[in-house]
């Protein structure tokens, strides 16, 4: 199929489109749904950070790079 | 001690109960003592798929509430002495299930049966959570379409978060069954193929069931298709039953060229 696509510039099949759309939407959903403890953890982190400095917000995003799950934390100061 | 296998999907209408009914028959035929429990409280359906709707006296809620004992509510299958069925109630009170009572029920079923198959309701609400809370294994049913795969993915995440096994640091063994595959469409590039679905869900496969018109008439009759020796989907269910029990079985050849079954009977 992919050879065809390359040779004749045929547009990708509907299954290909479905797969790509699914991958995108799930990557997004997993990041927001996979961590049920997120809100609680955020609140606790805020408390800890407040002890030392003035904090406005803590943003935590989860990412998946190949086989490593990463939590990235961004501390926004006041 | 028996094991609890929850059949679930997230999205409704993908063939959850049909799959469960067939696998229940399949594993009973393999010599296991099986009970199929309809956990779709308020929307009883498994009874009709198994052709046992006329035999219901008590239901699973009656057992949990102590209105009858387990043996009074269990219904033996017409054909298989190894297979029993525990119907859902038709009450509309969604909150009637209670985790502790579910646990007690499952523990007593584990003493009597090798395999306890739970038919989870669609969705991710209370009823679904009760159905997966005490699962040892889960079979996630998905059809090869975007909504079904997306919901299956969601459900997998919830199993990992909400089951007692997961809470105890163990893992619920999870497998995917891809249902209603149309090989012609896959070949044409108009339906997600098996690898696509597995890739996205990141779970091992335990079966692929081809879309099969015979399933409709078998549902009409209340005779699971697995008993039809000539149906391709029945053969798929027989093989899945064996795989669940640990046997290694080849996958059905679903390529478009006329297969053995079609040549013989098609």
- pLDDT tens sequence across B210-259: 999 999 999 999 999 999 999 999 999 999 999 999 999 999 888 876 55
Q: Which residues of A touch B188 (CB under 8 A)?
A: 13
The domain that holds B154 is classified in CATH as 3.40.50.300
Tell me the domain boundaries of chain A.
36-78
Q: How far apart are the CA of A26 and the nearest CA of chain B, in angstroms?
A: 7
Q: What is the mean pLDDT of residues B65-70?
A: 93
Partner A contacted by B189 (CB < 8 A): yes
pLDDT digits (tens, 9 = 90+) for A4-62: 555 555 568 999 999 999 999 888 787 666 666 777 788 888 899 999 999 888 888 77
**Residue B261, pLDDT above cutoff 70:** no
**Which carries the bigger pLDDT value, residue B86 or residue B162?**
B86
pLDDT digits (tens, 9 = 90+) for B69-99: 999 999 999 999 999 999 999 887 767 788 9
Instruction: Kindly state the tokens that stand for B199.
Output: 């890739």
Which ipTM value was assigned to this complex?
Answer: 0.78
pLDDT digits (tens, 9 = 90+) for B166-219: 888 899 999 999 999 999 999 999 999 999 999 999 899 999 999 999 999 999
**Residue B100, pLDDT above cutoff 90:** yes
Partner A contacted by B154 (CB < 8 A): yes
Partner B contacted by A19 (CB < 8 A): yes
Rounded to two decimals, the pTM is 0.82
Among B142, B162, B196, B202, most A C-beta atoms within 10 A, so best to mutate, is B196
State which residues form the domain around B29.
3-265
Question: DSSP string covering A13-60, please?
Answer: PHHHHHHHHHHHHHHHHHHHHS-TTHHHHHHHHHHHHHHHS-EEEEEE
Partner A contacted by B149 (CB < 8 A): yes
Q: How far apart are the CA of B195 and the nearest CA of chain A, in angstroms?
A: 10
Query: How many separate domains does chain B show?
Result: 1
pLDDT value for B266: 44
CA atoms within 13 A on the CB side of A20: 6
Instruction: Kindly state the tokens that stand for B20.
Output: 């469960």
Among A4, A5, A15, most B C-beta atoms within 10 A, so best to mutate, is A15
Q: Could you tell me where the DSSP H helices lie in chain B?
A: 16-29, 46-49, 60-64, 70-73, 99-112, 126-133, 146-162, 164-167, 183-188, 194-201, 214-221, 232-244, 260-265
Residue B14: name the closest of B120, B169, B112 by CA.
B120
């Amino acid at each position: 199929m992919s050879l065809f696509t390359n040779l004749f510039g045929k547009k990708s099949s509907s299954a290909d489109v479905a797969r790509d759309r699914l991958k995108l939407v799930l990557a997004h959903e997993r990041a927001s749904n996979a961590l049920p403890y997120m809100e609680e953890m955020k609140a606790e982190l805020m408390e800890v950070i407040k002890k030392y400095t003035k904090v406005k917000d803590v943003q935590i995003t989860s990412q998946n790079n190949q086989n490593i799950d990463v939590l990235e934390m961004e501390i926004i100061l006041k | 001690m028996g094991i609890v296998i929850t059949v679930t999907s997230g999205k409704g209408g993908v063939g959850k109960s049909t799959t469960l009914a067939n696998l229940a028959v399949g594993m009973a035929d393999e010599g296991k003592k099986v009970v199929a429990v309809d956990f779709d409280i308020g929307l009883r359906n498994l009874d009709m798929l198994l052709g046992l709707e006329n035999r219901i006296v008590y239901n699973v809620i009656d057992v949990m509430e102590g209105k009858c004992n387990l043996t009074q509510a269990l219904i033996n299958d017409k054909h298989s002495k190894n297979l029993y069925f525990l119907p859902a109630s038709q009450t509309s009170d969604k909150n009637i299930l209670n985790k502790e009572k579910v646990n007690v029920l499952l523990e007593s079923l584990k003493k009597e049966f090798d395999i306890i198959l739970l038919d989870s309701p669609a969705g991710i609400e209370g009823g679904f959570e009760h159905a997966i809370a005490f699962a040892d294994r889960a079979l996630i049913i998905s059809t090869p379409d975007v909504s079904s795969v997306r919901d299956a993915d969601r459900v997998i995440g919830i199993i990992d978060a909400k089951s007692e096994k997961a809470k105890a640091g163990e893992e619920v063994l999870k497998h995917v069954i891809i249902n209603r595959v149309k090989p012609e469409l896959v070949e044409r590039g108009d339906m997600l193929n098996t690898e696509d679905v597995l890739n996205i869900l990141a779970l091992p496969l335990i079966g692929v069931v081809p879309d099969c018109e015979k399933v409709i008439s078998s549902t009409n009759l209340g005779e699971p298709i697995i008993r039809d020796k000539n149906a391709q989907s029945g053969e798929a269910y027989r093989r899945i039953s064996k795989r669940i029990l640990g046997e290694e079985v080849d996958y059905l050849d679903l390529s478009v060229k006329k297969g053995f079954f079609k040549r013989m009977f098609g």
